[in-house]
Amino acid sequence: MALGTMAMLGSTANAQKVAFEEFDLDNGLHVVLHQDNSAPVIITSVMYHVGAKDEQPNRTGFAHFFEHLLFEGTKNIERGEWFKIVTANGGNNNANTSDDRTYYYEVFPSNNLELAIWMESERLMHPVINQIGVDTQNEVVKEEKRLRIDNQPYGNIFKAIKQSLFKNHPYRWTTIGEMEHLDSATLDEFKAFNKKFYIPNNAVLVVAGQFDNAQAKEWIKKYFGAIPKGEPIKRQKFEEAPITSTINATWEDPNVQLPMTLAAYRTPSMKTKDARVLDMISSYLSDGKSSKLYKKMVDDKKVALQVGAFNNSQEDYGQYIIYSLPLGDVSSESLLKEIDEEIVNMQNNLISENDFQKLQNKFENNYVNSNSTVEGIAENLASYYLLYGDINLVNTEIDIYRSITREDIKEVAKKYLNPNQRLILNYGPAKEKTAK
Amino acid sequence: MKKYLYIAASLLVTITMQAQDRKMPKQGPAPSININKPETFTLENGLKVMVVENHKLPRVSFNLTLDNAPFAEGSKKGVTDLVSAMIGNATEKISKDKFNEEIDFLGANFNFNESGASASGLSRYSARILELLADGALNPLFTQADFDAERAKIIEGLKSDEKSASAIAGRVQNVLTFGKEHYNGEFTSEETLKNVTLQDVINHYNTYFVPGNAYLVVIGDVKTKDVKKKVEELFGADVWKKATAPNLTYNDPKDLQYSQINFVDVPNAVQSEISLINLSKLKMNDKDYFAAILANQILGGGGEGRLFLNLREKHGWTYGSYSNLGASKYISKFSSTASVRNTVTDSAVVEIFNELKKIRTDLVSAEDLKNAKAKYIGNFVMQIEKPATIARYALNIKTLGLPEDFYENYVRNINAVTPEDIRNAANKYFLANNTRVVIVGKAADVLPGLEAMSAKEKMPIFYFDKYGNKVEKPVVKKEIPAGVTAQSVIKKHVDAIGGEKALKAVKTLFVISKGTIQGQTLDMVSKTSNKGMSSTDVTMKGMSLMKQIIGDKTGYQTSQGQKKNIEGAELVKEKKEAVPFIELALLADKTIVLSGIEAVNGQDAYVIQVNTSKYFYDVKTGLRVAAENEAGEGDQKRKVMTTYADYVDVKGVKVPYKTTLDVGMPLEFITQDVKINEGVTDKDFE
């Protein structure tokens, strides 16, 4: 390595600390304010602690369906007006759903904070849930599923993995859910779901950007304060028995031509230190051209077109997924063999000091970038508060990564990444149906 | 008592106040904005450098852009893909492994391609990051081994998208819109990649990776003074020799003379990719640029656009429908798109056309225009102070030839647009009569509806393969549902037109119809008897044009004064068909075959093969909708398609009142009168 580079290692990263203020309203709504006056922008977001894992097994897709339904209108916002109001005031907005939570946000020029707070409070206070809205969004969600999943090469990977890794936990179904479940759901069921989960004491409101602190608080109290507290949610805990022998599965996808080989492991909650160690292991294996799997399989041996490892960390469990596309006629077995060699190596030997320093640098860089936009900071604050239970992680999570040792990497690889703990998925082209 | 009233009254006041309180809040005063400019300097070799200092976070980004004119790669299409794949893998000074190792060690992100390079990372490594960027971009090592490996990967990678409807759509849209010879229409294939050599890659790099039209944008926690020194050292004229890339001119492709549908069959598709396209020559420095982008915003700019509200919110056909108007120095396109489920493809196309026509014809409302302006101005206000925006806008002014005060006047120019300007821009940039409708989807599900729409809208369909080559209409095999047989199809038809008993009671059928062909009126009188006899007489202004008699034992035909006898096998065949309802005989005929399902005027119909004729029965109603017969002899032999419609109940039996013969042009007969069991004697068949 160049001497210059070594010299530069001396200085330490000094990412700006994210300053924030938090308080609770009487109805249990948690509020977080983060001021940043560098641009005339204001982000108003609400994260609700409801996701696909809160659904009934015969009513999957509900949480995501709400992400559509709750744009249909409120008592004071007529159907079809939501997007128009946002645009007419120069803003943009969207929402997204995961297995753990649902997130709604508006980004406006900073003179529209009151409007944004009002809109989000309207959504929580009295959304209009009627048959027209349900029927329209039912069709829209089906199109979304066709667009993003059924018409996309490799679109059903998560479905294939989740149904094998989870037998008991609601992570076994997909976020978008089964369309038959949505078809058979009644209007009353949708209303009941809203009443149960869309309550102030199951949400966090974040206001971030350029605003006047006292004014913002006044508006928040005025619009959100009027909303009654909901019945506290009783959540069921789902435990999975450990996987003790390899699960083999196949999936046929008519949209693909190249077979993909995947190994997936069930890993612990994103809140644990082990989950963060697994993030580092992913980086070690496949982030960058010098990463172990990329360099060996794509660059040197030329057996793979692609190889990747990532830790899909979630609130209750994670899915650790390694995937590879072959180059030419390379078999699934030989791809797996190459992957396993590196894992075994990690389990038996400490990674090199140089590789370890490389990981530290990468995570330092990720950390600086994760708080680089006000939009990003707003979402981080909401997630750390609502899902991780520790909002200070916005500034301190990097310390957890910094505390990880080479020994930790070895131990975690040994603990979770064994052949008998995993799913081997062969995700390939659909076989031609024989003509009758 | 009064006290209570007071309380009630005050409660009422609070309640009303609360209700008023929840009215939509008004906007606060507009935030003030500053439009900053980057520090800029130009090196001797032409490289222009822009620096935006921002010390909020300890990071830096470098972005090198080569603003070369576009060019076609022709039979060697893919040479740019290969340059992009190989550049930055190794340099003349640093081996591939060491280069990659160091980049990853810095925790930085690097990207090299044929038209530039970029890197970002922690600012404490900024000097080294810039060194590696310069080395990777200016001293790349191109080797045969690397060339072979990257080419193999690109070829394999092409396969991963082989069956993707959206990837196919993207390719075919450009091939058809711009033409295969045009730089926007050509595409990389295994064949063209095999024409490329290592020397081509090196030549390409040497010709195009030059500083003449190059820009380096630096944003972040750095000092301009330091950057300048470092850039001069790493990118100066003695390292990067002064040169300018070639600027070739191409003939612009042309829009269609009339709207047409271009269909690509992708049997695995569960959605159709629809795109209505015309060419766009809009440039950002055009006078009507702001009117054009606002028109596009109103038509299909987002979740509040007309296309979205119509196709998604009103009909639930799609996850989203949008329009996109290209504005570039070079020719680009305007397109309105949606991915919709197969069965609503034709309806979605019609609705997109309706929206295009509407915005070209009607003035937009003051509210629509106000909202569109608000969106653009809002985004502008939110973006303008971000460091990346400052750099991007400065770069746009240089590369797109915009006036220096383009962004200072942005808000004013947006606000000046009128509804008339929108309509003018819509007419100029959104065509409705010269539109190419590219649809990529599953023919079996989509074509029946599309063909009906095509006939109605008089918009022809042409078929292409997934590379944009013209092909024949795809043959679609539809599966016949279990339990359906030739006999069950005939039985359903018989039941649909009155039932076996009612049909058997018909001894003679007497039909008078009027036809038109090329403005002339024809009269036709046809009589049939259940004894296997028929007479048909076609006259024009009382003059006989054609007459055919199938009698008890003889038959003949006269046409334009010439008489020809019908005898032997031909007579036997004609007699079979010379009955009021041929299906009564087919009920017990074991030689007929159910050969499949085909679309007739957009509706699925079962096809029953009877000797050399085909009969088509609507899958849903059971009614006979068409017949295909052979006519003429020898070289003159051809197939004639007859379609039937408008079934009318006559004494408990349904008879088609509209019969259309396709004799090169449609010959349409409308029934005037039908008589059952009256007006016909055996004498009529002599």
In a domain, A63, yes or no: yes
The pTM for the full model equals 0.77
The reply to whether A130 and A267 lie within a common domain is no
Q: How far is A271 from chain B (nearest CA, A)?
A: 24
CA-CA distance, A161 to A138, in Å (whole number)?
25
The reply to whether A197 and A253 lie within a common domain is no
The reply to whether A130 and A268 lie within a common domain is no
B24 and A91: CB-CB below 8 Å? no
Instruction: Give the domains, in start order, of chain B with CATH numbers.
Output: 39-235 (3.30.830.10), 260-471 (3.30.830.10), 486-685 (2.50.20.10)
> Is residue B595 very low, low, confident or very high in pLDDT (cuts 50, 70, 90)?
confident
**Tens digit of each residue's pLDDT (9 = 90 or more) over B254-280:** 999 999 999 999 988 889 999 999 999
Q: How far is A202 from chain B (nearest CA, A)?
A: 22
In a domain, A7, yes or no: no
CA-CA distance, B455 to B478, in Å (whole number)?
22
A371-378 average pLDDT score: 92
The reply to whether A149 and A264 lie within a common domain is no
Q: Select from A3, A5, A76 the residue whose CB has the most chain B CBs within 10 Å, as the one to mutate to test that interface.
A: A5
The reply to whether A78 and A200 lie within a common domain is yes
Tell me: pLDDT of A260 over 70: yes
Q: What angle do CA B123, B127, B128 make, to 5 degrees?
A: 100
Tell me: pLDDT of B174 over 70: yes
**Tens digit of each residue's pLDDT (9 = 90 or more) over B607-664:** 999 888 889 999 999 999 999 887 766 666 777 888 899 999 998 999 999 998 876 6
Q: Alpha carbon of B178 to those of A234, B24, B181, B251, B276: distances in Å? A: 60, 48, 8, 10, 14
List of chain A residues whose C-beta atoms are within 8 Å of the C-beta of residue B439: none
The reply to whether A220 and A269 lie within a common domain is no
Concatenated DSSP letters for A369-432? HHTSSHHHHHHHHHHHHHTSS-TTHHHHHHHHHHH--HHHHHHHHHHH--GGGEEEEEEEEPPP
Chain B, 331-390: which have a CB under 8 Å from a chain A CB?
A: 339-341, 367, 370-372, 374-375, 377-379, 381-382, 384-386
SS3 label, residue B685? helix
Chain B, 493-522: which have a CB under 8 Å from a chain A CB?
A: none
pLDDT of B566 reads 87
List of chain B residues whose C-beta atoms are within 8 Å of the C-beta of residue A5: 102, 105-106, 125, 128
B381-410 average pLDDT score: 91
Tell me: pLDDT of B19 over 50: no
B160 and A256: CB-CB below 8 Å? yes
Locate tokens 């003074």: which residue?
Answer: B225
For A174, the token pair is: 């997909």
Q: How many CA atoms lie within 13 A of A339 on its CB side?
A: 29
The reply to whether A421 and A351 lie within a common domain is yes
pLDDT of A11 reads 36
Question: Quick one: which of B293, B311, B292 has its CA closest to B303?
Answer: B311
In a domain, A198, yes or no: yes
Q: How far is B136 from chain A (nearest CA, A)?
A: 14
How high is the ipTM of this complex?
0.84
A91 and B22: CB-CB below 8 Å? no
List of chain A residues whose C-beta atoms are within 8 Å of the C-beta of residue B384: 39
Q: What angle do CA B287, B289, B290 make, to 5 degrees?
A: 105
List of chain A residues whose C-beta atoms are within 8 Å of the C-beta of residue B121: 365
CA-CA distance, B122 to A13, in Å (whole number)?
8
List of chain B residues whose C-beta atoms are within 8 Å of the C-beta of residue A307: none
Burial call B310-343: b when 16+ CB within 10 Å, e when fewer: bbbbebbbbbbbbbbbbbeeebbbbbbbbbbbbe
Given A222, A305, A325, which is nearest B21 (Cβ)? A222
A365 and B165: CB-CB below 8 Å? no
Residues B268/A256, Cβ–Cβ less than 8 Å: no
In a domain, A233, yes or no: no
Pairing relation of β-strands B638-650 and B436-441?
A: unpaired
Residues B509/B584, Cβ–Cβ less than 8 Å: no
Domain boundary among A190, A224, A258: A224
CA-CA distance, B686 to B681, in Å (whole number)?
10
A89 and B374: CB-CB below 8 Å? yes
Residues B252/B279, Cβ–Cβ less than 8 Å: yes
Alpha helices in B216-269 (DSSP H): 224-235
Given A110, A118, A139, which is nearest B24 (Cβ)? A118
Question: Quick one: which of A393, A21, A15, A368 has its CA closest to A211?
Answer: A21
The reply to whether A143 and A251 lie within a common domain is no
Number of structural domains found in chain A: 2
Instruction: Kindly identify which residue of chain A lies nearest to residue B378, measuring between CA atoms.
Output: A90
Give just the sign of the alpha carbon dihedral B8, B9, B13, B14.
negative
CA-CA distance, B56 to B221, in Å (whole number)?
7
Q: How far is B494 from chain A (nearest CA, A)?
A: 30
Tell me: pLDDT of B407 over 70: yes
> Among A314-328, A369-383, B569-583, which stretch is predicted with the lowest mean pLDDT?
B569-583
pLDDT of B51 reads 95
Q: Does B542 touch chain A (CB under 8 A)?
A: no
A139 and B304: CB-CB below 8 Å? no
> Among A158-167, B130-139, B594-603, which stretch is predicted with the lowest mean pLDDT?
B594-603
CA-CA distance, A319 to A265, in Å (whole number)?
6
Q: How far is A286 from chain B (nearest CA, A)?
A: 11
CA-CA distance, A13 to A38, in Å (whole number)?
22
List of chain A residues whose C-beta atoms are within 8 Å of the C-beta of residue B315: 139
CA-CA distance, B589 to B499, in Å (whole number)?
17
pLDDT of B277 reads 98
Going by C-beta distance under 8 Å and a sequence separation of 6 or more, which residues neighbour residue B182?
Answer: B72, B250, B253
Concatenated DSSP letters for A62-119? HHHHHHHHTTS-BSSS-TT-HHHHHHHTT-EEEEEE-SS-EEEEEEEEGGGHHHHHHH
Region class of B568: left (phi > 0), else alpha (psi between -120 and 50), else beta: left
The reply to whether A205 and A256 lie within a common domain is no
Region class of B118: left (phi > 0), else alpha (psi between -120 and 50), else beta: beta
B22 and A76: CB-CB below 8 Å? yes
Q: Select from A96, A121, A123, A146 the residue whose CB has the most chain B CBs within 10 Å, as the one to mutate to test that interface.
A: A146
List of chain B residues whose C-beta atoms are within 8 Å of the C-beta of residue A75: 22
Q: Alpha carbon of B191 to those of A165, B154, B285, B301, B536: distances in Å? A: 42, 12, 40, 38, 61
pLDDT of B665 reads 65
CA-CA distance, B650 to B498, in Å (whole number)?
10
SS3 label, residue B391? helix
CATH number at residue A393: 3.30.830.10
Alpha helices in B52-94 (DSSP H): 79-86
List of chain A residues whose C-beta atoms are within 8 Å of the C-beta of residue B21: 222
SS3 label, residue A164? helix
CA-CA distance, B188 to B627, in Å (whole number)?
46
Locate tokens 């982030």: which residue?
Answer: A287
Domain boundary among A224, A258, A280: A224
A299 and B386: CB-CB below 8 Å? no
Q: How far is CA B276 from the centre of its chain?
A: 5
> How many contacts, defined by CB atoms under 8 Å, are there between A and B?
240
A151 and B18: CB-CB below 8 Å? no
Locate tokens 């369906």: which residue?
Answer: A65
Looking at every residue in chain A, the average pLDDT score rounds to 92
A4 and B304: CB-CB below 8 Å? no
Please state, for a pLDDT cut of 90, what percent of chain B lies above it.
70
For B169, the token pair is: 């759509």
Please state, for a pLDDT cut of 90, what percent of chain A lies above it.
86
Looking at every residue in chain B, the average pLDDT score rounds to 90
For A127, the token pair is: 């959304």
Burial call B438-472: b when 16+ CB within 10 Å, e when fewer: bbbbbbbbbbbbbbbbbeeeebebebbebebeeee
In a domain, A1, yes or no: no
> Among A289-303, A314-328, B158-172, which stretch is predicted with the lowest mean pLDDT?
B158-172
pLDDT of B4 reads 47
A147 and B159: CB-CB below 8 Å? no
Biggest distance spanned by C-alpha atoms of chain B: 112
The reply to whether A218 and A253 lie within a common domain is no
Q: Does B29 touch chain A (CB under 8 A)?
A: yes
Q: Does B475 touch chain A (CB under 8 A)?
A: no
Instruction: For residue B73, give the DSSP letter.
Output: -
Instruction: For residue B633, give the DSSP letter.
Output: -
Helix axes of B144-160 and B79-86: crossing angle, nearest 10 degrees? 110
Domain boundary among A193, A224, A255: A224
Tell me: pLDDT of A43 over 80: yes
B531-558 average pLDDT score: 87
Q: How far is CA B209 from the centre of its chain?
A: 36
Q: Classify burial at A389, counting beta carbons within 10 Å of its beta carbon; exposed 0-12, middle 13-18, buried 19 or more.
A: exposed
In a domain, A322, yes or no: yes
For B608, the token pair is: 């029953």
Q: How far is B395 from chain A (nearest CA, A)?
A: 21
The reply to whether A349 and A423 lie within a common domain is yes
Higher pLDDT, B640 or B491: B491
Tell me: pLDDT of B334 over 80: yes
Instruction: Kindly identify which residue of chain A lies nearest to residue B24, measuring between CA atoms.
Output: A115
Q: Select from A134, A147, A210, A284 the residue whose CB has the most chain B CBs within 10 Å, as the one to mutate to test that interface.
A: A147
Q: Does B165 touch chain A (CB under 8 A)?
A: yes
Residues B529/B686, Cβ–Cβ less than 8 Å: no
Residues B622/B492, Cβ–Cβ less than 8 Å: yes
pLDDT of A252 reads 94
In a domain, A238, yes or no: no
Q: How far is A168 from chain B (nearest CA, A)?
A: 31
**Tens digit of each residue's pLDDT (9 = 90 or more) over B366-375:** 999 999 999 9
A92 and B18: CB-CB below 8 Å? no
In a domain, A356, yes or no: yes
A8 and B374: CB-CB below 8 Å? no
Tell me: pLDDT of B596 over 90: no
Tell me: pLDDT of B136 over 50: yes
Amino acid at B91: T
A86-106 average pLDDT score: 95
Amino acid at A429: P
Q: How far is B172 from chain A (nearest CA, A)?
A: 17
> Among A249-253, A428-432, B113-117, which stretch is predicted with the lowest mean pLDDT?
A428-432
CA-CA distance, A165 to A318, in Å (whole number)?
10
The reply to whether A328 and A401 lie within a common domain is yes
Alpha helices in B302-429 (DSSP H): 306-307, 345-361, 366-383, 387-399, 410-415, 419-429
> Among A397-406, B194-203, B340-349, B608-617, which stretch is predicted with the lowest mean pLDDT?
B608-617
pLDDT of B64 reads 97
**Tens digit of each residue's pLDDT (9 = 90 or more) over A288-302:** 999 999 999 999 999
Residue A192 belongs to domain spanning: 21-224
Higher pLDDT, A225 or B563: A225
A109 and B56: CB-CB below 8 Å? no
pLDDT of B164 reads 87
Q: Does B105 touch chain A (CB under 8 A)?
A: yes
Tell me: pLDDT of A142 over 80: yes
Q: How far is B298 from chain A (nearest CA, A)?
A: 11
Instruction: Kindly identify which residue of chain B lies nearest to residue A79, measuring between CA atoms.
Output: B313
Q: How many CA atoms lie within 13 A of B551 on its CB side?
A: 14
